[in-house]
Structure 1
Amino acid sequence: MDRRLHEASLTGNTTSLQKLLDEDELILDRTLAANAPENPLHIAALRGHVVFAAQILCLRPELSHELNSQGLSPLHLASANGHVGVVKEFLKLAPDSISKRDREGRTPLHTAAAKGRVSVLEELTHHKPELIGDVTSRGETVLHLCVKHEHVEALKMLVGVISDAELVNQKDDNGNTICHVPRYETGVIREIRAN
């Protein structure tokens, strides 16, 4: 990626981005074709630069589907870091990016659940509630990930919006529900059982 574009992405400087586009209208096209380890949208999403991300999404929405060197899409990065404003822009300007899977078969919803990002979970489930039933390559649901990473509030929020009660009893690839995996028997399950 062009060094100046990289710097503009790091700071979220839309003025610099526009200047670069005025000088070279193909700069984003070359970034897309370069197969670089990350693109400007990855950086903007990671940093939470809402306006910059929106501008890139308007110009090249296909950048939202690119995976970085860690196998994550820009929406995975925004979701993991709790950047609700950036997530909202993705849902508005590149809505199909919500279904993009990383190398472990996780959607951005899985990533938000693993990090306990309740506000992001609310946005994503409001936009596409059927994703709650999706599983990772290990057969884990968003509920498994909340319990595994001990995110009580995220688990409560998700349990409150699921329409399929059977999801609570869904087994992962090892045959375990969220209540039966020994490593999952944490404060999260004890707290849920107490309520």
Structure 2
Amino acid sequence: MSESLTAASQAGDISQLYTSIQEDPYILERIDDIPFFETPLHIAASAGHTRFAVEIMRLKPSFGRKLNPNGFSPIHLALQNQHNRLVLRLVEIQKDLVRVQGREGLTPLHFVAQNGDTDLLDQFLSACRCDSSRGDLSTYCC
């Protein structure tokens, strides 16, 4: 990843993100081709840059499910750093992120349950809820 894109991710600078894309229109595509990588979304999620993370999710939704070399997705990192607002925004964009299996099969849902955060757990279970076309609304699909 370019130094410019790394700096943009660390600072949460959306303008610098687009400058990096203008300089290299395939920069995000090349990152997506690498199986385990610390993407701009991982960096922004760790730092708690919600607006930047949302912008990256709009451009590259696949980054939300990608694991870094340590086996963590962006939402795992946001949870570890207690950036709950960012976590909820990512789940709002892509509900199935609560089920992404990271290191040792741990999902964000497991992480929240283990840490006893009942507010986030409630939000995650609501995100997991089956829709009426797949089954009873009282059941969960997690």
TM-score (norm 2): 0.80
The answer to whether the Cα contact below 8 Å between 2:45 and 2:78 also exists between their aligned partners in 1 is yes
Distance 1:105 1:36 in 2: 15
Distance 2:125 2:82 in 1: 14
The answer to whether the Cα contact below 8 Å between 2:31 and 2:37 also exists between their aligned partners in 1 is no
Distance 1:36 1:107 in 2: 17
The structure with the largest alpha-carbon Rg is 1
| Residue of structure 2 in register with 1:184 after alignment | none
| Residue of structure 1 in register with 2:46 after alignment | 46
Question: Which letter does structure 2 place at the counterpart of 1:70?
Answer: N
Question: Which letter does structure 1 place at the counterpart of 2:50?
Answer: V
| Residue of structure 1 in register with 2:58 after alignment | 58
Percent identity between the two aligned chains: 36
Distance 1:14 1:118 in 2: 33
Structure 2 alignment gaps of length 5 or more: 131-137
Q: CA offset at residue 6 of structure 1?
A: 0.9
Report whether the alignment pairs 1:10 with 2:13: no
Distance 1:105 1:45 in 2: 20
User: C-alpha deviations, 1:44-81, integer Å up to 9, x for none?
Assistant: 11111100000000000001111111111111111222
Structure 1 alignment gaps of length 5 or more: 131-162, 165-195
SS state at 1:71 partner? coil
| Residue of structure 2 in register with 1:74 after alignment | 74
Give 1:4-153 correspondences, 5 Å limit.
4-35=4-35, 37-128=37-128
| Residue of structure 1 in register with 2:133 after alignment | none
SS state at 1:104 partner? helix
Higher RCO, Cα 8 Å, sep 6+: 2
Q: CA offset at residue 26 of structure 1?
A: 1.3
Distance 1:38 1:54, change over 3 A: same
* Count of residue pairs brought into register by the alignment: 132
Distance 1:122 1:79, change over 3 A: farther
Query: RMSD across aligned C-alpha pairs, in angstroms?
Result: 2.2
Q: CA offset at residue 129 of structure 1?
A: 5.2
Stretches (4+) displaced over 6 A? none
Question: Which letter does structure 2 place at the counterpart of 1:46?
Answer: S
Distance 1:52 1:34, change over 3 A: same
Q: CA offset at residue 36 of structure 1?
A: 5.2
TM-score (norm 1): 0.60
Q: CA offset at residue 101 of structure 1?
A: 0.6
User: C-alpha deviations, 1:118-163, integer Å up to 9, x for none?
Assistant: 4433322232258xxxxxxxxxxxxxxxxxxxxxxxxxxxxxxxx8
Q: CA offset at residue 37 of structure 1?
A: 3.3
